[in-house]
Amino acid sequence: MLRNLLTLRQISQKAIIGAPRRQIANKVKEKQKLFQEDNDVPVYLKGGLWDVVLHRFTVFLCVFVFLSSSLNVFQKSDKFPSSNFIWLVKPRTNVIAVP
Q: Does 53 bind other proteins (CB under 8 A)?
A: no
The residue from 19, 38, 77, 86 that contacts other proteins (CB under 8 A) is 38
Stretch that binds other proteins, among 11-19, 46-54, 77-85, 90-98 (CB under 8 A): 46-54
Instruction: By CB under 8 A, tell whether 12 contacts other proteins.
Output: no
Among 34, 52, 80, 87, binds other proteins (CB under 8 A): 34
The backbone torsions φ and ψ at residue 80, rounded to the nearest 5 degrees and listed phi first, read: -70, 125
Residue 36 as a binder of other proteins (CB under 8 A): the answer is yes
3-state DSSP of the chain: CHHHHHHHHHHHHHHHHHCCCCCCCCCHHHHHHHHCCCCCCCCCCCCCHHHHHHHHHHHHHHHHHHHHHHHHHHHHCCCCCCCCCHHHHCCCCCCCCCC
Would you tell me which residues interact with other proteins (CB under 8 A)? 24, 26-28, 31-32, 34-36, 38, 42-44, 46-47, 54-55, 57-59, 61-63, 65-66, 68-70, 72-73
